[in-house]
Structure 1
Amino acid sequence: MSPCEDVVQQDDPLLAGYVPAQDRLVRSLLDSGRFAEAGVAFDELVAAGPSMVGEQWNRATVLVHRASLAWRLAHIPLALELAAEGWTELDVDRPQGGCAAHTISMLGYLLETIGHRGPSLELMSLSVQVARESGECSALAHCLNREGNARVFRAVTRPDDSAEQFARARDLHGEAHSLAKPGQVKRSALAGYARALAGVGEMDRAERAALEALALGRAADDWFTSSVANWVLAVVRRAQNRLEEARTFASRALDSAETIRDTMLMMQFSLDLSAICEELNDPVGESAALRRTVAASRTAVDLLQEGLGQALEQRRVAVQAQRMAMAAREAALRDPLTGLTNRLGLERRAPGLLESTAAQGRVPWLVLVDIDWFKEINDAAGHAAGDMALQEVAFLLRRECRVDDLVCRWAGDEFVILLVDADQSARDAGPLVAERIRAAVEAHDWRLVLGRNMRPPTVSIGVAAGPTKLEQLFAAADIALYRAKRAGRNRVEQETTDEAALDSGRP
């Protein structure tokens, strides 16, 4: 028999219908205080990934169950990630069936552990309702037990309505115990039932139930049940004014809680032990108990701080990756030489800009710019000089256009400008901008770029306005550009889209 087979044989049979055996193994190892083995088994579980969740399992249920395991193992960011993913996959608007009930109940347990007790109790109550409607007794037993535990601790920490909470917990645990088959849930429900009985003053019944739960917990190496049962016996003995025995049981309860690292139990049991020691006039014991209270609180705070630190680091890495991805997407839409939007960027952004312009009752303009005699620059001065000339033209285009205008390097020595500014919706906005660009290029000092012996470049520009289709605008501007080239270059020509063909026939 392997070191873990005995744990598998003792695991909760009610869980068998909801989560895989490996998940149940991790949970049983945790319940028995074997954290090192649980950590190894859980790491194997996580490494296997989603493939381990076969079709026979409800994915939301398995994810949330693994979130609770991760939380107990102090993997806080992973626990939150798994819980969020499982919650997303759950149909919270119309939850139905035992799996949904089980999942909602575990989410409530996680919130209870974190300290959000109001929402947690609402989820647990909902899970009981869903489980009842499903008719699945195993799911109902789980959900009843979790809500019962939550109400017990609500009663202990909020004395103002403790009587009502204890009475409700008694009914919930009693029903859970009657429904559950032998296993962890039945043992836990019995221990919770005992504490609720003590809370409503039925000390004799509470003692009998606690002793039975303690025997079952010890036999199954179930430290959770053992700790709660010892706690109940401490409460009973204290009520009977048998304080020496109460101190012994409280100390055992705290030892068991520390074995399974349950900070919520540790803090409550250490406080009770301190109070008992005070009544016994045992300052040494009281001081030791208070130190254990502080240690438990510090453990809880350290756990949350470490988890928040891990979550912050993961968030930082995620933001960095998101920025890198956005930069990569942005780079894919930009021309690396000029920094302008490239052809792909224009094709992606233009439809939305054109539709928005038309929707606001404005006329869209497209300006097509071509550098005159650009091949001559490359041949005579070299491609490096040609690249510098392209960069200078790009600079002039940005300078002469408005921030909202889309300036693009279309291909080679051609540039496209889409005018979308509201002030440029006048009838002659396109030709005016085009003429401003032409004049700026002509007046530019090119000597630093091309030297004194090269003919300074000029631009020919075609302008078109009218439709909301980029292809039609471009075809019209292309015809106008061809006409500007034929008319001697270094000029602006305008074309209406009604006269444009989709194929301009340019050489």
Structure 2
Amino acid sequence: MDLRVRVLLNAGRLPEANAVFDEVVTKAPPSTDRWVRSAVLVHRAVMAWRLGRIPLALELAAEGWLDVDSETTDSPAAAQTMGTLGYLLEGIGHRHAALDMVRRAVEVARRANGPDTLAQCLQRLGGTLNFRAASGPAAAAPAIFEEARGYLAEGLTLDTVDGHVQRGLLGAYGRALAGIGELDDAEKAGRKTLEMASEISDHWGMAVGNWVLSTVHRARGELVRARTLASRSVASAQSIHDTSLMLRFSLDLADICSEMDDAVGESAALRCSVAAGQKASETLQEGLGQALEHRQAALRAQQLAAAAQEAAARDPLTGLANRLGLEAAAARLLEGTASRGRVPWLVLVDVDWFKGVNDDAGHAAGDAALREIAQLLRRECRTDDLVARWAGDEFVVLLGDNGNSEHEVGPTVAERIRAAVDGHDWSMVLGTTRRPTVSIGVAAGPAKLDQLFAAADMALYRAKRHGRNRVEVEPTINVN
């Protein structure tokens, strides 16, 4: 069905091509071979581009392009993908990238050792070089045409069954011959291309054939005939919506009209050229716009992912880091503290009599009390300390580098926290309900989080056993 769209496009039957393409684009490309899939996507991108469906063309091309730079390959489908991408890039005005891509396509096709694929890639490269020679400095043109002729001559020796590729090779070969002054052979090639294309109403081949013949007659000084043939080539290119051909052929027609002092014809040809150039510019602009939108979407997705990750690591009740957040950040804080010659401290805080608070004042009041304790913890700790709600009514403070020589910083901070909770006015939150206090276990040492936590938990157990509302310190951990 993809081939049917191309045939309809080359025949200038655009409404039918559009209808069939709608059926094609809804079908997923083959997934058994990623290169085959890429080739199908890029071919569809070219069809969408010629049908004027620019956003879809860019989307398909981008998806098909993903694997092109990933690795060295000898897949025929990879060569086809690169060759078609080169054609598309040429059409939207990205000319340097286009030439690089079609050269790579030929290299891959040679390794793939398939005559049909190599013939197609040689035709793309030869045609691209022809356009470079025709639009570049006159002094450089013969050498470029000669290079193109070599590739195209090689392609014509290959046994290929694709008639479109054969016509493309022959037409491009004729233009290269005309570029190096071999006009008789160029005319033969142009006539044969036109004849083969006319038999099957291939307007693409007819456009190329007439372009070659126009070039030959212009070189011979037969300007009236050259203008007629150039007009036909432009009309055929317009009928199939091929921007590359329209731009090149209309410029040549304008030059012929200028040599004939045909101001009206020159003006019409230039208008056609400007329209083709505007289409290429609009394509690039639309592509840039889509690229910006995709970038915005990617950044938005990153922001949402970061926000989701942050939310997953934060306790929704208190706003402190949760257990996941503590575990994620602890390694970096512990390593940083140890690297500066400081001893890491872990402070484990447990709310005394919290079950009684919930039973007497209700869970809403209990939640409010936990939020108050979280605020007190923040107030008594520094910005580089890691404060987290471990679980239920347990909190953890992991102390960062305090930047001074105070050795017992852990017990000092723990005592400030205990005193702040003990001296807090709880009447607004709990009324006459028994006010909570906290028991705290403290541990230090060049250890991992789980080791520090286990040591602090032992100290916390002693604080509970010895009457609560107190701080107990576990001896420094020795990991040796």
Which is worse superposed, 76-85 or 181-190? 76-85
Of 192, 214, 221 in structure 2, the residue corresponding to residue 212 of structure 1 is: 192
One-letter amino acid matched to 1:171 = G
Of 264, 270, 276 in structure 2, the residue corresponding to residue 290 of structure 1 is: 270
Which is worse superposed, 192-201 or 80-89? 80-89
1:210-256 Cα deviation digits (max 9, x unpaired): 11111211223322221121112222222222222222211111111
Q: TM-score of the superposition, structure 1-length normalised?
A: 0.85
RMSD: 2.8
One-letter amino acid matched to 1:485 = K
1:21-59 Cα deviation digits (max 9, x unpaired): x33333333333344444444444443335x43459733
Contact 1:77 1:308 in 2 (8 A): no
> Does 1:222 find its partner at 2:202?
yes
- How far apart, CA to CA, are the structure 1 residues paired with 2:114 and 2:405? 69
* Structure 1 match to 2:147: 168
Contact 2:116 2:162 in 1 (8 A): no
CA gap 1:148/1:29 in 2 versus in 1, 3 angstroms: same
* Structure 2 match to 1:113: 91
One-letter amino acid matched to 1:247 = R
Which is worse superposed, 456-465 or 53-62? 53-62
Of 417, 442, 460 in structure 2, the residue corresponding to residue 481 of structure 1 is: 460
* Structure 1 match to 2:312: 332
- How far apart, CA to CA, are the structure 2 residues paired with 1:491 and 1:337? 26
- How far apart, CA to CA, are the structure 2 residues paired with 1:448 and 1:326? 37
Specify every segment of 5 or more residues in structure 2 that has no aligned partner in the other structure, as ranges.
Answer: none
* Structure 2 match to 1:447: 427
- How far apart, CA to CA, are the structure 1 residues paired with 2:386 and 2:55? 43
One-letter amino acid matched to 1:223 = H
Secondary structure of 1:423's counterpart equals coil
* Structure 2 match to 1:9: none
* Structure 2 match to 1:369: 349
Alignment map for 1:2-401 (pairs within 5 Å)? 22-49=1-28, 52-55=30-33, 58-76=36-54, 78-90=56-68, 93-159=71-137, 160-179=139-158, 180-355=160-335, 357-358=337-338, 361-401=341-381
Contact 1:337 1:387 in 2 (8 A): yes
CA gap 1:401/1:31 in 2 versus in 1, 3 angstroms: farther
- How far apart, CA to CA, are the structure 2 residues paired with 1:42 and 1:185? 21
Q: TM-score of the superposition, structure 2-length normalised?
A: 0.89
One-letter amino acid matched to 2:257 = C
- How far apart, CA to CA, are the structure 2 residues paired with 1:88 and 1:302? 24
- How far apart, CA to CA, are the structure 2 residues paired with 1:379 and 1:92? 63
CA gap 1:439/1:79 in 2 versus in 1, 3 angstroms: farther
Of 443, 466, 470 in structure 2, the residue corresponding to residue 491 of structure 1 is: 470
CA gap 1:91/1:425 in 2 versus in 1, 3 angstroms: farther
One-letter amino acid matched to 1:47 = T
1:34-92 Cα deviation digits (max 9, x unpaired): 44444444444443335x43459733433443444444445555545544544443475
What is the count of residue pairs matched by the alignment? 477
1:179-213 Cα deviation digits (max 9, x unpaired): 13351000011111111111111222211211111
1:263-284 Cα deviation digits (max 9, x unpaired): 2221222222222222222222
One-letter amino acid matched to 1:441 = V
Specify every segment of 5 or more residues in structure 1 that has no aligned partner in the other structure, as ranges.
Answer: 1-21, 501-507
Which is worse superposed, 121-130 or 252-261? 121-130
Contact 1:364 1:425 in 2 (8 A): no
One-letter amino acid matched to 1:212 = K
* Structure 1 match to 2:450: 471
